[in-house]
Amino acid sequence: MRLDKFLCEMNIGTRSQVKALLKQGLVSVNGQTAVKPDLQINTTVDQVTYRGEVLFYEEFVYYMLNKPAGVVSATEDNHDRTVIDLLREELVTNLVNDIFPVGRLDKDTEGLLLLTNDGDLAHRLLSPRKHVEKTYYVQIEKELSPEDLQALEAGVDIGEDQYTLPARVSVLSEREIRLTITEGKFHQVKRMLRAVDNQVLYLKRLSMGTLVLDETLEKGQFRRLHAAELQKLKEGIGRC
Ligand code: URA
């Protein structure tokens, strides 16, 4: 890979910024100052440093986003701002063009969304066979009766071939619940509440598998997953 491409992918700067940094002698390859943008490097063998810090090449990147309402879970959209636009506004790496959201949250839903270029992990997290747990904080129109709770926990008719799989409900207050489901049907939480003659007023995803939303992230903010978070997430869903 060309050195300037590598530095861009590591989010050091745009191609032209990287060229300037090389000229300033801030980058070295295997201990030698490197000034040529077209120097070929082997990302698995060569050690590249920037301002004395070693840059570790990663093929895959993983970001946790606190999705705000009003933004769509897509890579491109003709009308609305997308979750990838939020990344683009801050990252210069070309890798951003390969990043996509793992599953979808509705435009008005907030909370945890994983963004990555790792298609294999995304596939496994979304596979219906894996039954990955997703937990939501839900504000509802009216209090749930004991029968409603029982129905939601056992499975409800949302107009699909089969009832929803058993869910877990924690009642937080009269009009607030925490709901954990193991499927990802279109508008599933809203349809489940409608099935018990209720309505979702506000929806926020709190977790997906072992990955828990970092509540210090403001709406619209994102951060890289920590190595331990990623490892736990992968372990939680197994190999294939
Ligand atoms: N269920 C919904 O109804 N909407 C979401 O965004 C996620 C789950």
| Ligand 1 atom nearest to 181, measured from its CA | 8
pLDDT recorded at residue 124: 96
Question: What one-letter code names the amino acid at 82?
Answer: T
Q: Establish whether residue 46 lines the binding site of ligand 1, counting it when its CB lies within 6 angstroms of any ligand atom.
A: no
Give 198 Cα–ligand 1 centroid separation in angstroms: 15
Give residue 239's pLDDT band: very low, low, confident or very high (50, 70, 90): low
pLDDT in tens, 46-89: 999 999 999 988 889 999 999 999 999 999 999 999 999 999 98
Give residue 240's pLDDT band: very low, low, confident or very high (50, 70, 90): low
Give residue 96's pLDDT band: very low, low, confident or very high (50, 70, 90): confident
pLDDT recorded at residue 95: 80
DSSP 33-57: E---TT-B--TTT--EEETTEEEPP
Q: Establish whether residue 190 lines the binding site of ligand 1, counting it when its CB lies within 6 angstroms of any ligand atom.
A: yes
Ligand 1 mutation pick, 164, 187, 199, 201, max ligand atoms within 8 A of CB = 187
β pairing state of 176-181 and 211-212: unpaired
pLDDT in tens, 135-173: 999 999 999 999 999 999 999 999 999 999 999 999 999
Give residue 99's pLDDT band: very low, low, confident or very high (50, 70, 90): very high
- Per-chain mean pLDDT for the chain: 95
| Ligand 1 atom nearest to 134, measured from its CA | 8
Ligand 1 mutation pick, 65, 105, 156, max ligand atoms within 8 A of CB = 105
DSSP one-letter code for 148: H
Instruction: Kindly give, in sequence order, each residue whose CB lies less than 8 Å from that of residue 208, ignoring residues fewer than 6 positions away.
Output: 102, 103, 112, 114, 125, 132, 133, 134
Find the catalytic residue in 77, 98, 106, 214.
106
Q: Whose CA is nearest to atom 2 of ligand 1?
A: 187
Task: Name which of 93-102, 148-157, 176-185, 226-235 the model is least confident about.
Answer: 93-102
| Interval 31-60 mean pLDDT | 94
Q: Establish whether residue 105 lines the binding site of ligand 1, counting it when its CB lies within 6 angstroms of any ligand atom.
A: yes
Any catalytic annotation for residue 106?
A: yes
Is the pLDDT at 97 greater than 90, yes or no? Answer: no
